[in-house]
């Protein structure tokens, strides 16, 4: 499976590169504001992103949802993505970035919450290199593993990956892969940490403060 997926990606490489260059030029002209939203599985990112969209006018782009939609489309790209996810591999940065770029361009907006990406340092570096976009800041939802497990096991959304073994594996991957991204941006003063273990409304009050301060600085 892995070898076949790799071959598909290599064959697609030149086409993806060319399309990305064209897309990137249009995206730079748009001069978008990007906020990365990071947090472990079950940290409440989706719920808070919906609140941010409603109150601050951002467009929410979930990398996971976009990848699942690509898989559902039945395209060659979707088949490759599905195979890699089944094997526990992270989808190549170029593929995810291309999907994100298309979604940003198709939106009529210039303010975006990118949820669940970058997943690791390689994702982060590739995003900045390809798009020439540096996030305005990173919204990091901090929550204990125990609390995230409780939430995921109780949400009953029918997702195949909502079982204790897979949840713990996902959390381990998040800590090993995504925390270095948080640390990178923290060293640049771009991380806004939110205590995600609190009730939803209290969490959003903290989120609102972050965005209000950012907007005030942007106006100033």
41-100 residue pLDDT tens: 878 888 899 999 999 999 999 988 999 999 999 888 889 999 988 888 878 888 899 999
Q: Are 182 and 138 contacting, i.e. CB atoms less than 8 angstroms apart?
A: yes
| Three-state DSSP class for residue 184 | helix
Is 155 marked as a binding-site residue? yes
Structure tokens at 159: 């997702």
Partnered with residue 61 across adjacent β-strands are 114
Structure tokens at 125: 């570096």
What is the number of domains present in the chain? 1
Is 10 marked as a binding-site residue? no
Residue matched to tokens 């609102």: 208
Is 172 marked as a binding-site residue? no
Is the entire prediction scored with pTM above 0.75? Answer: yes
95-128 residue pLDDT tens: 899 999 989 998 889 999 999 899 899 999 999 9
Give pLDDT, residue 14.
43
Structure tokens at 146: 């125990």
Is 42 marked as a binding-site residue? yes
CATH code for position 114? 3.40.50.300
Is 91 marked as a binding-site residue? yes
Q: Are 178 and 121 contacting, i.e. CB atoms less than 8 angstroms apart?
A: no
Structure tokens at 85: 């996810």
Domain that holds residue 103: 2-219
Q: Which helix (H) or strand (E) holds 182?
A: helix 179-186
Is 200 marked as a binding-site residue? no
Burial of 53 (0-12, 13-18, 19+ CB in 10 A): middle
Is 30 marked as a binding-site residue? no
Is 90 marked as a binding-site residue? yes
Distance CA 36, CA 52 (A): 13
């Amino acid at each position: 499976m892995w070898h076949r997926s790799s071959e598909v990606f290599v064959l697609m490489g030149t086409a993806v590169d060319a399309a990305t260059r064209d897309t990137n030029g249009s995206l730079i002209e748009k001069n978008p504001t990007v906020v990365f939203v990071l947090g472990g599985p079950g940290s409440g990112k989706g719920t808070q992103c919906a609140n941010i969209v409603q109150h601050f006018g951002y467009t929410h782009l979930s990398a996971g949802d976009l990848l699942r939609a690509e898989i559902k489309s039945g395209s060659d790209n979707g088949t490759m993505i599905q195979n890699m996810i089944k094997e526990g591999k992270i989808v190549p940065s170029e593929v995810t970035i291309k999907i994100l770029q298309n979604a940003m361009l198709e939106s009529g907006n210039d303010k975006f919450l990118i949820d669940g990406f970058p997943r690791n340092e390689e994702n982060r570096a590739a995003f900045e290199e390809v798009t020439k976009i540096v996030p305005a800041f990173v919204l990091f939802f901090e929550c204990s593993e125990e609390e995230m497990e409780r939430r995921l096991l109780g949400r009953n959304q029918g997702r195949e990956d909502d079982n204790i073994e897979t949840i713990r594996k996902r959390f381990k991957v998040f800590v090993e892969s995504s925390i270095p991204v948080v640390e990178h941006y923290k060293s640049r003063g771009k991380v806004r940490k939110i205590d995600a273990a609190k009730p939803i409304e209290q969490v959003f009050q903290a989120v609102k403060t972050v965005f209000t301060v950012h907007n005030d600085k942007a106006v100033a």
